[in-house]
Chain A
Amino acid sequence: MSFVHLHVHSYYSFLDGAAGPAQLADKAGHFGMPALALTDHNRLTGAVRFYESAKKSGIKPIIGAEIDMDGGYHLTLLCSDRTGYSNLCRLLTAMHCDRHGDKPAATRDLLNRHHSGLIALSGCRLGEVPSLLAGGQKRGAVLAAGFYREVFGDGFFIELTRYPAREDASLCRLLYDLAREHGIPAVATNNVHYLSMRDYRIRELLSSIGHIVPASQLPGPRTVEQYFKSPAEMARLFKGFPGAVEMSLEIASLCNLDLELGRPRFPEFYLPAGETAPGVLRRLAYEGTERKYGSLTPELSARLEMELTTIERLGFCSYFLIVWDIVRWARERGIRCQARGSSSNSLVIYALDISIADPVHYDLLFERFMHPLRNEPPDIDLDIDRRRRGEVRDYVISKYGKDNVSCVATINTYLARGAIRDVGKALQVPQPVIEEACKGIHWLSASKLMEKADTLPELKGSTVYKRPELKEFFDLCTAIDGFPKHLSVHLGGLLIGEGRLSDLVPLEPSSGGDIISQYDKDDIEKLGLVKMDLLALPTITVIEQAVHSIRENRGLEIDIDKIPRDDPAAFAMLRAGKTIGVFQLESPAQREMAGRLIPRTFDDIIVSLSLVRPGPLKCSMDKVYLARRHGQEPVSYPHPGLESALGETLGVILYQEQVLRVAHDLAGLSYAEADGFRRAMTHDRTHEEMEKMRLSFINSALRRGVKRGVAEEVFEHLAAFAAYGFCKAHASAYAVLSYQTLWLKCHYPAEFFAAILSNQPMGYYPPRVLAAEARRCGAVVLPPDVNKSSDLYTVEDDAIRVSLCQVKGISSEAVCSIVSQRRRHASPHCATSPCGWRPVSP
Chain B
Amino acid sequence: MVSRQIDEPITVHISRESVPTAFIWRRRLYRVVEILSWWREASEWWNGEQVRILIRVTAERRGTGIYELCKSDSIWFLHRVLD
Q: Which A residues from 138 to 184 make CB contacts under 8 A with B?
A: 163-166, 168
B40 contacts the other chain (Cβ, under 8 Å)? yes
Q: How far is the CA of A603 from the CA of B45 in the complex (A)?
A: 61
Tell yes or no: B63 within 8 A of A by CB.
no
Is A223 a contact of B46 with CB atoms below 8 Å? no
A216 to B45, CA, bound (A): 9
**Chain A interfacial positions (CB closer than 8 Å to B):** 163-166, 168, 197-198, 200-201, 204, 215-216, 222-225, 427, 472
Residue B14, interface by CB 8 Å: no
Could you tell me if B42 and A216 are in contact, using CB atoms closer than 8 angstroms? no
Q: Which residues of B contact A200 (CB under 8 A)?
A: 42, 45, 51
B40, B41, B51, most chain A CB atoms within 10 A: B40
Confirm or deny: B38 has a beta carbon within 8 angstroms of a beta carbon on chain A. yes
A168 & B39 in contact (Cβ 8 Å cutoff) = yes
A166 touching B48 by the CB < 8 A rule?
Answer: no
A204 to B44, CA, bound (A): 11
Contacts of A223 in B (CB 8 A): 42
Tell whether, in the assembled complex, residue A164 and residue B38 are in contact, meaning their CB atoms are under 8 Å apart. Answer: yes
In the bound complex, do residue B46 and residue A216 qualify as a contact, i.e. CB atoms below 8 Å apart? yes
**Interface range, B side:** 10 to 19
Q: Decide yes or no: A224 and B37 within 8 Å by CB, A204-B45, A216-B44, A216-B46 being known contacts.
A: no
Q: Which residues of B contact A (CB under 8 A)?
A: 37-42, 44-46, 48, 51, 54, 56, 68
- Chain B neighbourhood of A163, CB < 8 A: 39
22 contacts between A and B (CB under 8 A): A163-B39, A164-B37, A164-B38, A164-B39, A165-B39, A166-B54, A166-B56, A166-B68, A197-B40, A197-B51, A200-B45, A200-B51, A204-B42, A215-B45, A216-B46, A222-B41, A222-B42, A223-B42, A224-B42, A224-B51, A225-B40, A472-B48
The majority secondary structure among interface residues of chain B is: strand
Nearest-Cβ distance from residue A488 to partner chain B, whole angstroms = 30
Q: How far is the CB of A674 from chain B (nearest CB, A)?
A: 52
Instruction: Check B51–A168 contact: CB distance below 8 A.
Output: no
Residues of A close to B68: CB separation below 8 A: 166
Number of A-B contacts (CB under 8 A): 37
The answer to whether A224 and B40 touch across the interface, beta carbons within 8 angstroms, is yes
Cα of A45 to Cα of B31 in the assembled complex, Å: 54
Contacts of A225 in B (CB 8 A): 40
Q: A197's closest neighbor in chain B, by CB?
A: B51
Chain A nearest CB from B60 CB (Å) reads 22
New contact pairs (17) apart from A163-B39, A164-B37, A222-B41, CB-CB < 8 Å: A164-B40, A166-B39, A166-B54, A166-B56, A166-B68, A168-B37, A168-B39, A197-B51, A200-B42, A200-B45, A204-B42, A215-B46, A216-B46, A222-B42, A223-B42, A224-B40, A224-B41
CB closest residue in chain A, given B39? A164
B45 touches which one: A165, A166, A168, A201 (CB < 8 A)? Answer: A201
Give the residues in chain A near B40, CB-CB below 8 Å: 164, 197, 224-225
Residue of A nearest to B3 (CB): A166
Residues in chain B near residue A224, CB distance under 8 A: 40-42, 51
Smallest Cβ-Cβ distance to B80: which chain A residue: A166
Cα–Cα, bound, A164→B39 (Å): 5
The 5 closest A-B pairs by CB, nearest first: A222-B42, A164-B39, A201-B45, A215-B46, A224-B40
Count chain A CB atoms within 10 A of each CB in B37, B40, B46 and give the residue with the most.
B46
Q: Give the chain B neighbours of A215 by CB distance below 8 A.
A: 45-46
Looking at the assembled complex, report how far the CB atom of B80 sits from the nearest CB atom of chain A, in whole angstroms.
9
CB of B51 to closest CB in A, whole Å: 5
Cα A166 to Cα B68 in complex, Å, equals 10
Known contacts A204-B42, A216-B46, A427-B46; A198/B37 CB under 8 A: no
Q: Whole-angstrom distance from the CB of B40 to the nearest CB of chain A? A: 5
The CA of A225 and the CA of B38, in the complex, are separated in Å by 13
For B45, the chain A residues whose CB sits under 8 A away are 200-201, 204, 215
Cα distance, A472 to B50, chains bound together (Å)? 13
CA A163 – CA B41 in complex, angstroms?
10
A310 to chain B, nearest CB (A): 57
Residues of A within 8 A of B48 (CB): 472
Q: Are B42 and A198 in contact (CB under 8 A)?
A: no
In the complex, chain B residues whose CB is within 8 Å of the CB of A197: 40, 51
CA distance A472 to B44 in the complex (A): 13
Nearest residue (CB) in A for B53 is A224
